[in-house]
Amino acid sequence: MPTAAQIDAIKRTVPVLQQHGEALTRHFYARMFEHNPEVRRYFNPAHQRSGGQQRALAGAILAYARHIEDPSALAGAIEVIAQKHASLTIQPEHYPIVGENLLASIQEVLGDAATDDILDAWAAAYGELAQVFIDREQAIYAGQRERQGWAGFKSFTVERRQVESDNIVSLTLVPTDGSTPPAHLPGQYVSVRLQDADGNTAMRNYSLSNAPGAAAYRISVKREVGNRDVPGGDVSNRIHDRLAQGDRIELSPPCGAFTLDLSASADKKLVFIAGGVGITPLISMAHAALKASASRQVIFIQAARHGGVRAFTSELETLAQDHPNFALYTCFSEPRQTDRNGDHQVKDGELEANDLERWVGGWDATYYFCGPLPMMQRIDKMLDTNGVAADDRRYECFGPLQPLAA
């Protein structure tokens, strides 16, 4: 634990971090990739180019400084990050690399404001936080070896390709050694390791979209075409264009803190709100919820631009036909003429509060939602405004962890 004087020094840096946090983290990543290029493969370059990774780290450093006297307030965020690190097989030897470059960036960006007492305080604080992550990640690896039979990366074979929409393809994956993969928790993801278009090793996280306990894993990958501001995804495009039935890729064991909890309030409604490819963890959750109970009401709301990019259409409709306690609704923000069929369960436009209240039958429910960050921010605010407790608002960000509230 940092000393009282070190805690005071860190707290004095809060205003500076508020003003210069992103400049600091931009400098940090550039410095680390220059001095330690071996760690670059652990980071998604699209998140670097978009600035999302830098903003997320700046927010995390600021939050840690604000809660330096009570780091337990950050337990939820720490668990999310530790799970992500474990999926990428981060090891204890990586932490000194990060620490050295972070402290150097603090000194180089803040200049004279980075006094010796501030640098010493941040060195002590980083050492403590690093040990928290190391201990948790080692526990995750031990649990994977015990429960799932492997840690690190393992070879899987593409058993099947399935086109789910104009921009999403599913891969059914089986262990190359002929074993049966352990059941994942609904909502978890795996890390895929393969070579990118330049021949470099790349790792990306993809949610498991199949029902838990199946004889194979299924990931469903959106083609990230990019635009003027954000480049396309090297790995997602390679999966769409190059990966075929019979090819091999490597997977790490399932990880993730965004999982379905069926242990409490068994009579409370479950509401899943999916935006775009954010459907992938939620459809796995829906399968699990329906298997667990034939009476608990499950409401599934899917948002897409139009029917061409609506994924898992037939699978969801089959669930609705087979389970009387499952209700399916769809919102199209840019509907095509063929999407307008007059069905009261299909809406033109974004999901609004009156739609949600009508379809759910009030607000008393547990909500799981995943999709583009602006959509999740809007949903979270909507739920909060209508009295839904924070414990009943559960979400996952694809990519760097971002707060939903401003």
Model confidence over 128-155: pLDDT tens digits?
A: 999 999 999 999 999 999 988 899 999 9
For residue 347, pLDDT beyond 70: yes
Confidence class of residue 346 from pLDDT cuts 50, 70 and 90?
confident
* pLDDT over 90 percentage in the chain: 70
Domains of the chain: 4-148 (1.10.490.10), 154-251 (2.40.30.10), 269-396 (3.40.50.80)
Is position 159 annotated as part of the catalytic site? no
Judged against a pLDDT cut of 70, whether residue 344 lies above it is answered with: no
Out of 24-38, 162-176, 189-203, 227-241, least confident range: 227-241
Average pLDDT, the chain: 91
**C-beta of residue 320 within 8 angstroms of C-beta of residue 330:** no
pLDDT tens column, 184-241: 999 999 999 987 667 778 899 999 999 999 999 999 999 987 665 555 577 888 899 9
Q: What is the mean pLDDT of residues 75-92?
A: 93
Reported pTM: 0.92
The string of DSSP letters for 49-113 reads: HHTHHHHHHHHHHHHHHHTTT-GGGGHHHHHHHHHHHHHTT--TTHHHHHHHHHHHHHHHHHGGG
Tell whether the model's pLDDT for residue 400 goes beyond 80: no
List the catalytic residue out of 29, 100, 126, 137. Answer: 137
Residue 51 tokens read as 């600035």
For every residue of 245-257, DSSP letters joined together read TT-EEEEPPPB-S
pLDDT of residue 343: 64
pLDDT value, residue 301: 97
> 22, 34, 42, 95: which one is catalytic?
95
Q: Please tell me the number of Cα atoms within 13 Å of 116 on its side-chain side.
A: 0
Q: Would you state the pLDDT for residue 72?
A: 84
Q: How confident is the model at residue 405 (pLDDT cuts 50, 70, 90)?
A: low
95 labelled catalytic: yes
